[in-house]
Amino acid sequence: MTSLVDIRHATKRYGAIEAVRDVSFALQPGQTVALVGHNGAGKTTLIKLMLGLVRPTEGSIRILGEDPAGRGIEARRRLGYLPESVSFNTALTGREVLAFYARLKSEPVDGIKTLLDRVGLSSAADRRIGTYSKGMRQRLGLAQALIGNPRLLLLDEPTTGLDPGLRMEFYDIVAELRDRGATVVLSSHVLTELEERTERVLIVSRGRLVADGTIDALRRIADLPAKVRVSVVDGAVETLRSLMGGLAAGRTFNGHRFEFDATASQKIELLRRAAGAGDLVEDIDVIPPSLDELYAHFLRKESP
């Protein structure tokens, strides 16, 4: 089966700078993928390589089996792109901008109404963009990226500047697209926000792909401890602590809660012992390592 994206040993050099170094990965349809990395890690360059805006110095890039920088534009027509900083001609209306991009992509303009509906801009469609809020401009950017029903959407830091409500709405739209079979690549620094919404994470550091997998798989590889928070009835902290033995050497918070770190194998044993304490335990929370912690782990491993 032809992968939607197939990148093999891609390197991109700008003079002495290696923006992307020997990166390989493939993406299949219907995935939401987080592309994370520090400033200057190579995320935008990878996106530009997939778009065919720059060519790899070494290695190959295939989108639906085609070279995106080649002469055939079919693969490029199946791509949608939302750049990091989106700017439109403020004198135009939202509808006019979308009509302009639809023509550029040789797509019919009669799909614009549906797109405006989908991103919640119908009522502002005929207002000039100069009167739009940041969130409205970002939604217009997304609508522009959606023209032609792309099979691959590349969204570069799409939620920068959006308030939490708008971010949620934005991710709802992304989930809907994924459910229709599109593959969505989201680059971002806001890792906590991607955690719940992506099946796969690509971590880049200094041009290299240092981790690639589902969040669960990366958790297993990193083997970082989870946080366990046990709430007990008043005065029972010490009883519980001795029941758990050395496994629960941690901090006591107030009289009825303590929190400590546990590896995957310790966690099961701890839960078993806590369950043995019956009514003394009021609640147990197990908080797995966050994407931020995983990210820091893989970057530490990469640094000499």
Q: Give me the residues that bind ligand ATP (CB under 6 A), please.
A: 14, 17, 19, 37, 39-45
**CB nearer ligand ATP, residue 154 or residue 270:** 154
Q: 283 Cβ partners below 8 Å, 6+ apart?
A: 230, 231
CA 206/CA 193 separation, integer angstroms: 23
Nearest distance, CB of residue 15 and ligand ATP, angstroms = 7
Nearest distance, CB of residue 89 and ligand ATP, angstroms = 24
Nearest distance, CB of residue 298 and ligand ATP, angstroms = 15
**CB nearer ligand ATP, residue 159 or residue 231:** 159
**CB nearer ligand ATP, residue 42 or residue 94:** 42
**CB nearer ligand ATP, residue 40 or residue 72:** 40
Scan for tokens 């007990």, then name that residue: 232
Nearest distance, CB of residue 44 and ligand ATP, angstroms = 3
Closest alpha carbon to 98 in 121, 75, 76, 79? 121
**CB nearer ligand ATP, residue 204 or residue 244:** 204
Nearest distance, CB of residue 175 and ligand ATP, angstroms = 24
* SS3 per-residue string spanning the chain: CCCCEEEEEEEEEECCEEEEEEEEEEECCCCEEEEEECCCCCHHHHHHHHHCCCCCCEEEEEECCECCCCCCCHHHHCEEEECCCCCCCCCCEHHHHHHHHHHHCCCCHHHHHHHHHHCCCHHHCCCEHHHCCHHHHHHHHHHHHHCCCCCEEEEECCCCCCCHHHHHHHHHHHHHHHHCCCEEEEEECCHHHHHCCCCEEEEEECCEEEEEECHHHHHHHHCCCEEEEEEECCCCHHHHHHHHHHHHCCEECCCCEEEEEECHHHHHHHHHHHHHCHHHEEEEEEECCCHHHHHHHHHHHHCC
Nearest distance, CB of residue 43 and ligand ATP, angstroms = 4
Nearest distance, CB of residue 179 and ligand ATP, angstroms = 28
**CB nearer ligand ATP, residue 202 or residue 215:** 202
The one-letter code for the residue type at 117 is D
**CB nearer ligand ATP, residue 129 or residue 204:** 204
**CB nearer ligand ATP, residue 190 or residue 243:** 190
Nearest distance, CB of residue 33 and ligand ATP, angstroms = 15
